[in-house]
């Protein structure tokens, strides 16, 4: 959505989480010609004002940073603000906007069950908390259980739903991305972000923007899809320290996916890579204690020849590498334990490869952040 709006000349503020390398990634201030991450001085001043206003009362990390983001957005003019909920939706700190232009609910799957519930329908109930009376809601492809909850909660809230595939649809045809809704067809280039799941995400973004900004030109959609960048979402690392550590001519993909549905989407994308250019596949994986590591890895059966288990050093809830390896064994993979991504890459580089490998580093956004920092290519 940001890339398309910026291609149309709009100024777009963005609030996302978590960050990968630097906290500043969470707050992007819109400007003509494209926004930029918040600078140190502005961020410090906003946080200081929020702490002063809070007067020492209990407040969470996410609440105070959300307040700081809102303060910064209010002080800098923009055409749009894109707010990503931090956790769930119903009780999320971002969910204080009474009348947003629209709300968007992407595909719901099992994640954060310790906070949101252990079933898709319970999680959908939390996500549905962002629905507002009279506000259009654009809904991506959903499990049947989630779709039923969202439709029921929309009726209660008085929100109008635009649901895939009932109200908008996409398909790939002759190497092009064809989007369709009640306003007609758009014949566009394939999204820059690889994977069919990113085509679904692109369709959801287009459906939302055609709902709230009907005057956007097809040229804006074309340029936006072609320019979109999103670090650690099937990001192809082609230069940097990580690349230098890996086997010569290795293909390296970095992804922050960490639950079973993310594993399926990632494996499907890698299978398409394999169909076009066969290479031996190795997955370097690190996850958190709260994640279903077996469920994440199982979709790689028949694709990955082995799993290299690593710790996620940046998070106190990291799963020990030995436990990740045990999960890989349970999923039916050969697995080895490495004490870091660096040592895993050196382990692979020491081998004699007849065909340079395809390496996927995945399992946690925190791990992805470590890799980008190691590589010397933090998000900008």
In the 8-state DSSP scheme, what is residue 130? G
- Could you give the CA distance from residue 36 to residue 52 in angstroms, rounded to a whole number? 26
Q: 33 pLDDT band (50/70/90 cuts)?
A: confident
Query: Residue for token digits 């008085």?
Result: 158
- Segment 145-190, tens digit of pLDDT: 999 999 999 999 999 999 999 999 999 999 999 999 999 999 999 9
May I ask the CATH class of domain 235-375?
alpha beta
Beta bridge pairs of residue 253:
236, 360
Which uninterrupted H or E stretch holds 121? helix 120-127
- Could you give the CA distance from residue 115 to residue 111 in angstroms, rounded to a whole number? 9
Residue 315 has a pLDDT of 66
Topology match between the domains 2-227 and 235-375: no
- Segment 188-208, tens digit of pLDDT: 999 999 999 999 999 999 999
Q: 32 pLDDT band (50/70/90 cuts)?
A: confident
Q: Give Cα separations from 165 to 27, 210, 232, 301 (angstroms).
A: 32, 15, 28, 30
Residue 266 has a pLDDT of 97
- Segment 75-84, tens digit of pLDDT: 999 999 999 9
May I ask the CATH class of domain 2-227?
alpha beta
- Segment 253-311, tens digit of pLDDT: 999 999 999 999 999 999 999 999 999 999 999 999 989 999 999 999 999 999 999 99
Q: 116 pLDDT band (50/70/90 cuts)?
A: confident
- Supply the pTM of this predicted model: 0.95
Instruction: Give me the mean pLDDT over the 140-144 stretch.
Output: 95
List the domain boundaries for the chain: 2-227, 235-375
Instruction: Give me the mean pLDDT over the 133-143 stretch.
Output: 97
- Segment 248-260, tens digit of pLDDT: 999 999 999 999 9
Residue 177 has a pLDDT of 98
What average pLDDT is seen over the chain?
96
- Segment 58-69, tens digit of pLDDT: 999 999 999 999
């Amino acid at each position: 959505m940001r890339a398309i709006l910026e291609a149309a000349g709009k100024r777009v503020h963005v609030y996302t989480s978590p960050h990968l390398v630097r906290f500043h990634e969470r707050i992007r201030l819109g400007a003509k010609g494209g926004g930029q991450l918040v600078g140190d001085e502005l961020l410090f001043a906003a946080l200081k004002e929020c702490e002063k206003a809070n007067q020492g009362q209990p407040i969470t990390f996410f609440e105070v940073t959300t307040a700081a983001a809102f303060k910064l957005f209010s002080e800098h003019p923009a055409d749009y603000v894109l707010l990503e909920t931090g956790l769930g939706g119903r009780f999320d700190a971002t969910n204080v906007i009474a009348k947003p232009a629209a709300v968007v609910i992407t595909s719901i799957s099992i994640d954060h069950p310790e906070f949101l519930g252990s079933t898709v329908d319970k999680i959908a109930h939390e996500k549905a908390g962002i629905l507002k009376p009279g506000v259009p809601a654009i809904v991506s492809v959903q499990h049947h259980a989630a779709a039923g909850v969202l439709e029921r909660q929309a009726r209660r809230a008085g929100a109008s739903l635009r649901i895939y595939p009932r109200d908008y649809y996409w398909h790939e045809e002759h190497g092009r991305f064809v989007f369709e809704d009640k306003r007609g067809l758009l014949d566009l280039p394939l999204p820059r972000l690889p994977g069919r799941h990113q085509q679904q995400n692109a369709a959801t973004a287009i459906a939302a923007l055609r709902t709230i900004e009907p005057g956007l030109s097809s040229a804006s959609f074309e340029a936006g899809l072609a320019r979109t960048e999103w670090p650690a979402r099937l990001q192809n690392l082609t230069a940097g320290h990580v690349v230098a550590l890996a086997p010569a001519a290795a293909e390296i993909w970095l992804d922050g996916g960490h639950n079973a549905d993310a594993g399926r989407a990632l494996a499907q994308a890698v299978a398409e890579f394999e169909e076009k250019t066969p290479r031996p596949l190795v997955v370097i994986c690190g996850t958190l204690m709260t994640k279903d590591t077996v469920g994440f890895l199982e979709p790689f059966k028949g694709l990955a020849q082995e799993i290299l288990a690593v710790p996620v050093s940046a998070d106190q809830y990291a799963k020990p590498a030995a436990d990740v390896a045990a999960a890989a064994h349970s999923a039916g993979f050969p697995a080895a334990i490495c004490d870091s991504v660096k040592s895993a890459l050196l382990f692979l580089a020491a081998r004699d490869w007849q065909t340079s490998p395809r390496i996927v580093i995945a399992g946690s956004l925190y791990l992805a952040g470590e890799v980008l920092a190691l590589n010397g290519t933090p998000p900008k």
